[in-house]
């Protein structure tokens, strides 16, 4: 049920379907008329920061730990978290931060029609509803905070329109960049890249392997590693236009925060420091603040891992948005079966028809194929010694923080740039020949990650990066210090928890 308070009486209404399973007690509706949840205290002087999520894929979960960290550090402040109902329902409970409140915003999907199934169509509808839905959400956030005005807007960088909303509100806008800084640098240099390389087939003609060494920090990346929408692909699609306009808007922000480990990409860090007036490197976001409650483990992955030796198990996951082509899934399955390696494979139910006949039955004694796995806990388990990944930035940071070496099968977007960094710059990842997975390629990758001299080298480098990540967010660490500076910027007049 929703709790609605209009200043005179309280009303209980049914929850929208997307929030029916949501465990968040502090939720406020955008007001169809002046309405809000019962106010949190009364002072209009209460400091109030509003976070805005890009409500697709792993983005809401990527910036949510920063909102929790702000709420935990400043318990007398109000922290509102704006996102679509579906995005809010995907987040873990935040019972330990009662000053963190959830504000649903319209997703743009017409009520009278069945919801679209394609992510790009959903993104297009959301963008059409923006920034009007954000303005309504801000009004609901203020009402739910007892009238405390928002003094700063913090958003996912993809929701660059939040900067315009903040400007109308006459408050600072601070974007959070949940992705890697290499791809961000490419987006910031989109106009230069298009002038130098051309666009479409012209950009790739004979120079797919050319290095981007004319952009600081991208000397190991090739033209063909660039995300779609920079010089190739449908440049006029809503998503490509979104990223291009984001790159134009970000340098105008009051400050910006990066989800990377200080020192991991020093040349890019140095370059970005010349673009932004107040850059804060505070990653990895997912281990920045207080630990979350353990994720559910409905398939009992963790007890299964408890039965295995250290560094013996391969974990396979390609994220929540895309899946490798059916032929590759079949090759991957054949490689896993032939390897003899114990494995957990997080695979959508709809993709299982691509598995070879009898694969599940033949491997059930040493493998688990599940629809969902608690990835953070799985990667942190000592039994996991290899991670086959699509190279989404959140997954890669989670693998780094857990000290697990990775095999890279990039799928789209920034994945190719991230994979290239892992293989050539950081030394904690290996690739597949031709980038596609084959049975033989999977066997070689598992052997390299789990056995022999190459495995020792990869595990040693993964352990070094794990130490680097965890030191950064420890007391006195570089990310911890940068986060304290960011807090001072967001909440300049409030007493913070030490």
State yes or no: pLDDT of 491 exceeds 70. yes
Distance CA 228, CA 243 (A): 10
Residues 432-475: tens digit of each pLDDT:
998 899 999 999 999 999 998 999 999 999 999 999 999 999 99
Instruction: Determine the pLDDT at residue 28.
Output: 57
Distance CA 106, CA 418 (A): 32
State yes or no: pLDDT of 495 exceeds 80. no
Residue ranges of the alpha helices (H) in 228-358? 238-249, 266-273, 301-306, 326-339
**Cross-strand pairs, 343:** 314, 367
Sheet holding 78-83, edge to edge: 100-104, 78-83, 48-52, 152-156, 173-177, 256-258, 279-281
Instruction: Determine the pLDDT at residue 114.
Output: 79
What token pair was written down for 326? 């059916």
Distance CA 112, CA 72 (A): 40
Tokens 């910027």, located at residue? 489
65's CB contacts (< 8 A; 6+ apart) are 285, 286, 287, 288, 289, 292
* Domains parsed from the chain with CATH numbers: 2-178 (3.40.50.2000), 181-282 (3.40.50.2000), 301-471 (3.40.50.2000)
pTM of the model: 0.90
Nearest to 376 by CA among 95, 55, 19, 61: 61
3-state SS class at 86: helix
Tokens 């923006």, located at residue? 130
Instruction: Determine the pLDDT at residue 431.
Output: 97
Please give the C-alpha separations between residue 169 and each of 164, 165, 250, in angstroms, as whole numbers.
Answer: 9, 6, 18
Residues 129-170: tens digit of each pLDDT:
999 999 999 999 999 999 999 999 999 999 999 999 999 999
Residues 232-255: tens digit of each pLDDT:
999 999 999 999 999 999 999 999
The arithmetic mean of pLDDT across residues 256-273, rounded, is 97
Dump the DSSP string for 120-182.
HHHHHHHHHHTTHHHHHHHHHHHHHTTTPPP-EEEEETT-THHHHHHHHHT--EEEEE-S-HH
Mean pLDDT of the chain: 91
What token pair was written down for 42? 């009364």
Nearest to 80 by CA among 39, 34, 49: 49
**Cross-strand pairs, 50:** 80, 153
- Angle of helix 238-249 relative to helix 119-129, nearest 10 degrees? 50
- How does residue 27 score in pLDDT terms, banded at 50, 70 and 90? low
Beta strands in 226-268 (DSSP E): 256-258
Distance CA 115, CA 117 (A): 6
- How does residue 206 score in pLDDT terms, banded at 50, 70 and 90? confident
Active site members: 59, 156
Nearest to 106 by CA among 24, 171, 31: 31
């Amino acid at each position: 049920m929703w709790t609605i308070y209009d200043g005179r009486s309280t009303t209980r209404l049914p929850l929208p379907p997307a929030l029916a399973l949501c465990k968040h007690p502090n939720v406020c509706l955008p007001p169809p008329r002046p309405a809000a949840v019962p106010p949190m205290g009364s002072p209009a002087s209460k400091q109030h920061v509003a976070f805005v999520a890009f409500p697709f894929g792993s983005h809401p979960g990527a910036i949510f730990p920063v909102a929790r960290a702000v709420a935990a550090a400043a318990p007398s402040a109000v922290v509102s978290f704006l996102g679509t109902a579906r995005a809010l329902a995907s987040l873990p409970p935040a019972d330990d931060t009662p000053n963190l409140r959830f504000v649903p915003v319209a997703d743009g999907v017409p009520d009278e029609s069945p919801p679209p199934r394609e992510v790009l169509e959903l993104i297009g509808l959301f963008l059409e509803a923006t920034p009007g839905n954000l303005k309504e959400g801000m009004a609901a956030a203020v009402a739910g905070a007892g009238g405390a005005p928002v003094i700063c807007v913090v958003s996912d960088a993809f929701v660059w329109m939040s900067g315009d909303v903040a400007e109308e509100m006459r408050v600072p806008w601070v974007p959070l960049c949940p992705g890697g800084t290499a791809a961000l640098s490419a987006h910031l240099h989109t106009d230069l890249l298009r002038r130098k390389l051309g666009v479409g087939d012209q950009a790739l003609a004979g120079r797919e392997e050319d290095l981007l060494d004319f952009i600081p920090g991208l000397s190991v990346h090739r033209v063909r590693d660039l995300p779609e929408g920079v010089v190739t692909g449908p440049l006029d699609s809503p998503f490509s236009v979104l990223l291009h306009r984001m790159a134009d808007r970000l340098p105008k922000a009051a400050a910006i925060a990066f989800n990377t480990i200080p020192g991991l990409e020093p040349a890019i860090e140095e370059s970005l420091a010349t673009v932004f007036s107040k850059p804060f490197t505070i990653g990895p976001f997912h281990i920045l603040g207080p630990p979350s409650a353990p994720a559910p483990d409905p398939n009992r992955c963790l007890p299964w891992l408890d039965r295995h030796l250290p560094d013996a198990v391969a974990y396979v996951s390609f994220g929540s948005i895309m899946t490798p082509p059916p032929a590759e899934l079949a090759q991957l399955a054949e490689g896993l079966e032939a390897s003899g390696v114990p494995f957990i494979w997080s695979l959508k139910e709809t993709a299982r028809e691509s598995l070879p006949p009898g694969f599940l039955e033949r491997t059930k004694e040493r493998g688990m194929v599940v629809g969902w796995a608690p990835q953070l806990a799985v990667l942190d388990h000592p039994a996991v010694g290899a991670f086959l990944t699509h190279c989404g930035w959140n997954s890669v940071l989670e693998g780094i923080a857990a000290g697990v070496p990775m095999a890279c099968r990039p799928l789209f977007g920034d994945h190719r740039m991230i994979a290239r960094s892992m293989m050539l710059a950081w030394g904690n990842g290996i690739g597949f020949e031709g980038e596609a997975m084959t049975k033989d390629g999977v066997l070689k990758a598992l052997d390299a990650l789990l056995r022999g001299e190459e495995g020792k080298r990869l595990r040693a480098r993964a352990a070094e990066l794990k130490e680097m990540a965890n030191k950064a967010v420890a007391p006195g660490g570089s990310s911890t210090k940068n986060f304290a500076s960011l807090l001072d910027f967001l909440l300049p007049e409030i007493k913070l928890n030490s």
